[in-house]
Amino acid sequence: MNTECFDIIIVGTGASGLTLALELSEQIQAKTDSDDVPQIALISKGPILEGSTLYAQGGIAAVLDENNDTIASHINDTLNAGAGLCHLDSVEFTIERGKEAIQWVIDKGVDFSREDKSDEYHLTREGGHSQRRVIHAADATGKALSEGLLSQVKKKPNIKLFEHHLAVDLILSPHNTRQCVGIYLLDTHSNQVIEVPAKITVLATGGASKVYLYTSNPDSSTGDGIAMAWRAGCRIANMEFNQFHPTCLYHPKAKSFLISEALRGEGAKLKLINGTPFMHKFDEREELAPRDIVAQAIDYEMKRTGSDYVYLDISHKPAEFIKDHFPTIYQRCLTFGIDITSEPIPVVPAAHYTCGGIMTNLDGQTDLENLFAIGETAFTGLHGANRMASNSLLECLVFAKAAADKIKSQLRQYQCEPQLPPWDDSRVTGSEEGVVVTHNWDELRRFMWNYVGIVRKNKRLLLAKQRVQLLQREIDDYYRQYLINSDLIELRNLAIVAELIINSAMKRKESRGLHYTLDYPYKDDNKFLNDTILKPKNYQQH
């Protein structure tokens, strides 16, 4: 990559990044002469498709069966799951555009599962939903979506793909510190940092679940966009609401493998090691309760019984049904000697989704001019205190389209900054102390899991805050002395995200949704029926 000025830089190649690139390419091409088609850079920190979207199993929630489902029902289910903190305008905005978003994906060639011997799409039901409304591609929806959108992106000559480029920091205008004019990128092959100017920069970098020791997410989910936006002066909201997926495969060699919520939607039961069901003790919806309730119930039973896991059992369903609806899970479990058609699956909760993030409006605009954020890295108000299953991919599609409309309308207003400050590494040296980064990375994720996990206490939060502040000083000292690499950049970002989570959790003195604390075990609507908004020192009100 050279340092030419791009009209739009999109950092992240998951569902939101790919959708935005396609929408911009198609919308802009339709409105401009062929000699004046804006150039779009699509940046991936690793291989193009390596990200959370690729591993999404469940599906996309939308009202498609209008004979048995309604927009109002989907809205109501989302509000209930969000425990009072969903923004109604965001919920309505997203869900009302659901059917259109699904049709757009189908038009791009993505093939979803159909009913047996029928042209009708198979819809499944997941936790928190009152109806079957989740469209899916077997149990590998994210893979089908990613590959389908990428195949279309590759046909667009004005979209340039850059793999193995890690975003380091946003570049602000020397004339206006509230305006983003580009980004520093680390070429992870050459380990060189380059500055790339852009009229519009979009963060579609995903979530931050790698801040926890156990997570369903790939290694790339290190909160890069959230940390960069915070350093640049953007507000961050609701970081205390970290969703722990109730069911990840428990096996020493099964790194981060998720067992889709769709199994419970099709009748799978959670059981103790002795085979006793337990969800009826915690919620009348049992296995179909929202994820926060199910994860807390599993955590409680594991601690009560001293077990390292519980069981998820779908073996009572016909073997062919299981193999047909969950082929990926069936084959993956089989590699570890678990035949899910005849025996239960050992599962544990794991960090899964970041409900908070960079504050945006309904167009994806952040607090900085020319900077947008979409997807899991953004906070739109859709999820409130707990994301309902399969609303996340829908959010990616809807807000990518909204951001594309806004960017298209204002792109002509901006010019590229003629001279960006070059990256200066003249006063640092190569490090021979990589063990420091490795140790700090491991320690951070362990104390976040132990102190800021599914169940919290004031004392644990205080210990975590003290430790993360010490770690940040060590990381900052290391950052200033040595040449950077991808491990150091991601550790730096995770430490910032960890502190944001801790500070948000300490501000919320109640239990709501995904934030449960033993010191304040009940909801307090009188004091806390609002978002937890954190402002960096360099934040400036518009």
Residues marked as catalytic? 291
d(C-alpha 249, C-alpha 117), whole Å: 32
Q: Are 44 and 77 in contact (CB under 8 A)?
A: no
Distance CA 152, CA 22 (A): 7
In 316-400, which ranges are E strands?
Answer: 345-354, 357-359, 371-373, 378-379
Helix/strand/coil percent split, the chain, to 5: 40, 20, 40
- Quote the CA–CA distance of 440 and 446 in Å, as a whole number: 10
Among 76, 80, 130, CA closest to 384 = 80
How many C-alpha atoms does 78 have within 13 Å on its Cβ side? 30
Written as one letter, the residue type at 415 is Q
The torsion angle over the Cα atoms of residues 115, 396, 243 and 240, rounded to 10 degrees, is -160
Cα 169 to Cα 172: distance, rounded to the nearest angstrom:
10
* Residue showing tokens 């480029």: 165
Distance CA 211, CA 505 (A): 15
Torsion of CA 274, 279, 282, 287, to 10 degrees: 160
Q: Are strands 134-135 and 123-124 parallel, antiparallel or unpaired?
A: antiparallel
Distance between CA 380 and CA 410 in Å, rounded? 21
Residues 474 and 478: their CA atoms lie apart, in Å, by 6
Strand partners, 134: 61, 124
| CA 276 from centroid of its chain's CA atoms | 33
Q: Which two tokens stand for residue 200?
A: 């519009």
Q: Which of 115, 100, 354, 80 is nearest to 212 (CA)?
A: 354
CB distance 212 to 454 below 8 Å: no
Closest alpha carbon to 289 in 261, 317, 310: 261
Q: Which residues contact 107 (CB under 8 A, 6 or more apart)?
A: none
Cα(236)–Cα(214) distance, integer angstroms: 24
